[in-house]
Structure 1
């Protein structure tokens, strides 16, 4: 099973060995083990498959089905130390589900929502707001407010660049609308 590939290793004598999780759960893994071992990309594919082929609890998975692939973009940028502020010109595509969420509550401008990084950060924030506990949200709320303070401290650096200004204005709107209650 591909899922357990990382749970196999060779010892010093070049003998194939297995971790305890592999030995205990290989034949019949519970869902939590599968989720623990999946890569983020595999998890996204799992949710998309579940949403399209399973009809139990479908409403609870609509948002994750629509938005996880965009959160994955932010995760990959972060994991590989790629700056989010590169390539922040407005593009063409907007996810219809995200556009509807924006229209109903957040109200970013269309040019802001067409910036892929803003679009993907918005998706990540919505997923966080929907699926994370209140305690986790409170913790991140404090961290995001500290970020806003740092951001405003250096406002003069980017005040003449429309793209950077658009990006940071959108980030401020997202933080204010999603994390102020």
Structure 2
């Protein structure tokens, strides 16, 4: 029997060939979403109901040509409603541009918060493991690698492009890696796994790791979005989840509406703020408060843009309540 095309080929070869064959769905998508020049993008935005009263078309073209790009700005249109004609209602390009700037500043704050939290939790782990007489600092690394089934050399290999920074560490520690070296090299995602792992293992000061073990996976989502420059202030309505009881409790204290803290993205933000407040030093928190005050003032720059958007007003009120909570803790 003659084999059909690709039947006798290795899986990876078949995958490469299938990837070269354009499907009908892909063809339709390309037809409906062609590459457009800035001038064409402006025309497309107008067809969707986006206006250019506060920013001229020329200035908008310059913005998406030299300062940012359409996909980065246009994504914020999902925060606005459409009318019966399927066009956006009361949406000027200036609103999108303003939200993109606010979101960019928020991402920088959130990334710094993530780095603060990562350092503080690694410091705590080092301290507690050092105090634990049941840990020699090496067996825990072997147990962790076996549980998650990864080769410890991968910890070094993931930095191979920057190996000139890590070569002394790799040369000395790769054959017998200690927990203090592992913590120094592991990513935020690996740290989240390690915290969950160590909470189950801990024999002393176990309570210190209760909240990080449960909430770090959500804070990780914020860290990844901020680090990859993904928009934060979109998709902030609907999609109810059941947050951790501690998040519900703290959200109620803050005064957040249930429809906000039950949104996945808001829940992620709350977890990051809560853990940062609990585990970072007072000096670090004071610096964050200064940044949050500056950020809040920037949010007030164009309040008239959003007077008719109850959803964004709720988000702004929620951020204000969260900042107030953090400043007063």
Tell me the TM-score normalized by structure 1. Answer: 0.86
Alignment-derived partner of residue 171 in structure 1: 319
Q: State the 1:55 CA deviation.
A: 3.3
Alignment-derived partner of residue 5 in structure 1: 157
Structure 2 unmatched runs, 5+:
1-151
Identify if the C-alpha distance between structure 1 residues 179 and 31 changes in structure 2 by more than 3 Å, giving closer, same or farther: farther
Q: CA deviation digits over 1:71-106, x for unaligned, max 9? A: 111111111111111111132113223113323x32
Q: Which whole-Å CA distance do the structure 2 matches of 1:43 and 1:122 have between them?
A: 19
Identify if the C-alpha distance between structure 1 residues 52 and 163 changes in structure 2 by more than 3 Å, giving closer, same or farther: farther
Alignment-derived partner of residue 148 in structure 1: 296
Alignment-derived partner of residue 81 in structure 1: 229
Alignment-derived partner of residue 102 in structure 1: 251
Alignment-derived partner of residue 25 in structure 1: 173
Q: Which whole-Å CA distance do the structure 1 matches of 2:155 and 2:188 have between them?
A: 12
**Which protein shows a greater Rg?**
2
Size of the alignment, in residue pairs? Answer: 174
Do 2:236 and 2:260's aligned partners in 1 also have CA atoms closer than 8 Å? no
DSSP 3-state at the match of 1:94: coil
Q: State the 1:43 CA deviation.
A: 0.9
Q: State the 1:175 CA deviation.
A: 0.5
Structure 1 unmatched runs, 5+:
12-17
Do 2:155 and 2:186's aligned partners in 1 also have CA atoms closer than 8 Å? yes
Q: Runs of 4 or more off by more than 4 Å in structure 1?
A: 7-11
Q: Which residue of 71, 91, 110 maps to 2:239?
A: 91
Do 2:240 and 2:259's aligned partners in 1 also have CA atoms closer than 8 Å? no
Tell me the TM-score normalized by structure 2. Answer: 0.49
Superposition RMSD in Å? 2.1
Alignment-derived partner of residue 141 in structure 2: none
Q: Which whole-Å CA distance do the structure 2 matches of 1:166 and 1:24 have between them?
A: 54
Q: State the 1:3 CA deviation.
A: 1.8
Do 1:118 and 1:167's aligned partners in 2 also have CA atoms closer than 8 Å? no
Q: Which whole-Å CA distance do the structure 2 matches of 1:10 and 1:41 have between them?
A: 19
Alignment map for 1:104-143 (pairs within 5 Å): 105-143=253-291
Identify if the C-alpha distance between structure 1 residues 53 and 148 changes in structure 2 by more than 3 Å, giving closer, same or farther: same
Q: State the 1:10 CA deviation.
A: 11
Q: CA deviation digits over 1:153-177, x for unaligned, max 9? A: 2222222222222222111101101
